[in-house]
Amino acid sequence: MKSSKEKTFTEKVYDVVRKIRKGKVLTYKEVAEKAGNRNAVRAVGTILSKNFDNNIPCHRVIRSDGKIGQYNRGESEKIRLLKKEGVIL
DNA sequence: TAGTTGACCGGAA
DNA sequence: ATTCCGGCCAACT
């Protein structure tokens, strides 16, 4: 049986990021892999940048290099949110 | 349809 | 350690 729901990669990324709990952080590569394409790490960043939904803690997604990465409201804000949730940088 | 964009990654100098 | 460059992909125009 098959349901032809075919969510776009964007929807998948949102779903993955939405599942991130407080104090947890994933890298863009991890998100891309969970979304179905580990090669689409670039697309993930592009997609999240277009996301303005507060229901999606996109600030919990960081780079694989251990750096924070960009954020809609500024990297400083992203760092602050992570530290506030107990994430060790 | 094809071209451009972009919150990245990894390797090389 | 930092900086530069190319590659890879989905969505938008």
Chain segment A24-81, per-residue pLDDT in tens: 999 999 999 999 999 999 999 999 999 999 999 999 999 999 999 999 999 999 999 9
3-state secondary structure A50-87: HCCCCCCCHHHEECCCCCCCCCCCCHHHHHHHHHHCCC
Q: Which residue has the higher pLDDT, A21 or A2?
A: A21
Nucleotides of strand B within 7 Å of the protein's CB atoms:
5-10
What does the pLDDT read at residue A5? Answer: 67
User: Catalytic site residue A58?
Assistant: yes
Say how far A59 CA is from C3 C1', in Å.
Answer: 26
Q: In a 10 Å sphere around its CB, with 0-12 CB exposed, 13-18 middle and 19+ buried, how is residue A37 labelled? A: middle
Domain ranges for chain A: 9-84
pLDDT at residue number A38: 93
Options 1.10.1530.10, 1.10.3720.10, 3.30.70.100, 1.10.10.10; CATH for A9-84 is 1.10.10.10
Instruction: Give residue A39's pLDDT.
Output: 94
Q: What is the pLDDT of residue A88?
A: 82
Q: Which nucleotides of C are covered by protein (CB under 7 A)?
A: 7-12
Å between CA of A30 and C1' of C10: 16
pTM passes above 0.85: yes
User: Is residue A8 a contact partner of residue A48, using CB atoms and an 8 Å limit?
Assistant: no
